Structure 1
């Protein structure tokens, strides 16, 4: 147990005592009852961040070591996604190098698996003159992923959202991309809570017509679609769509508010996982999935339930800044030696947020070494005027 002083939401200070170290193993063997991808973060090279807002610098050793940590726990990695600060500090040249390095690293790790995000972020949305421009940007990224032996997650595109005029434009662009993909792809429906520039994606503001467009796309290309990741933070919408998918198309929950219940499933189906929250909670999630495999729903809920409160804090509005808490927890747990982020993004959350994340992570049994975590938290508090 360690004690430290933390700020409170009421404006005061409290003495906080941590609980015991995390009981969850840092390695796992055997299959899971769900397919689970962890969307992994990148570790900045703090010593090389001479111009952090415009010139990203990545600590490749620490970044790849974290992927080995996730693979060692039995997770697949969703590479170069939103969690890696894609579009919020990580540009396409950086993402391209990340994809190449991670795919090469995976070949040296027995059983390692990953899929890689392909989007259009090398294209300024305002500079896209036509849907052909958008499709060509996608194709360039898809070619890069496939040239390095990777499988594709088709990320949502700000440029497509700006250029498309109706649902048929989405069907035309996505159909063109899916037909030429070497392997099955994973679609990604990212809600505007994660990126306000994606409001009205699939050609509709309302959920039902947008969902019908996606279902039409899936029906037309069912043999080339592995599944779809839904990141709408609405369990009801995900379940409604899940019930309409064919058995051969996987629903990957991206709902970082309701993942525990969605992956547990109901009498009519289950969701699998492709989640940013699996980055910081991987050991607990692994232990919970083992309980689920054994038919122990109560044990699953007992482990994963406390992580939901933490996840809802990490992903609170403005949701796109959830990466701050993900990196913060990696620092607390010794996976990196600083809390700096690409683009200086760590400043997007304040000390009250970080203090509550610390408490919730401790209460969920996620601090590997509470004394080390408390020492680091004291240092963060000190530079924020809390001592």
Structure 2
């Protein structure tokens, strides 16, 4: 007799269609084969000593109980100061800042708090897969707008057509994962005008905000006129300070938005790890030279990676920021991005991510793979050496 409830082996409708990302799949296969992982965005460079010592002191000081769900006061104060100085966004540390479990945790809380099932959300493609999966978990109606290589620009008319009175939010990732696009002030002004015309929110992930190349400048859409009350700005510590496993990020926005995002942050996570919150307060004491070295170091790694790709017939699309490289692999003579990724892993021992993972239309990424060059020099140089060996290797 049917009871009307689902089988124990059935799953919630909200996760229908969600699958483990190709990033995770390629990482597992890389580990199995003992390869070098240029697929997953794992930075294996050291955490600054100042932050390590601060973490040790916090643990030894027994700063180990729950914090307030919005984060410790000292950290929110320093975040507010940084937002004013670097991002041009003035925010109240007590009411307009929430410390989250990574910027992705902040994105989850923001989407659950602000997006209802069936509401339209605009996403630029190529995209960060976690953004799309989280929006699908919220059962949002996604509308994709393409940004085109090699300079990663979007068609303003296409974006304008995507907006409607049903648009709840637009997702911005600047600098972007996977293509490294840095949205210009002109582009953000245009997006802001559409948000205001259609009474839509902007949810912007700016986790790579300090990693910029070739004179590009970071602009936060939340700093633009008329966007103060309709923008959620997300960032964090993972990428700038090489601590992806510490899981510390933050959300900034109008008090009314942060109240609900804070509520979701509490329900989902209770709080970010307390001793690590205390530790990263000292990140704001690092000198400007730290960020200058960071950019210079990644620019050098980018150049090394591009050179190795070009030597084996792959064409890199130079990023404007972040530490990823989308590469055209059509020169390898293989039929698809998946074949290319498997070829690079099995023949060179270097993991990448198939490009179709990042595109609304898989055909757009059929001849692309993504590489992450945020690796210690010895690991990156060995990966490039392995890639170069393919120049003399039969397909």
Q: TM-score range by the shorter chain?
A: 0.3 to 0.5
TM-score, reference length from structure 2: 0.34
Greater relative contact order structure (CA < 8 Å, 6+ sep): 2
- TM-score normalised according to structure 1 size: 0.35
More helix by share: 1
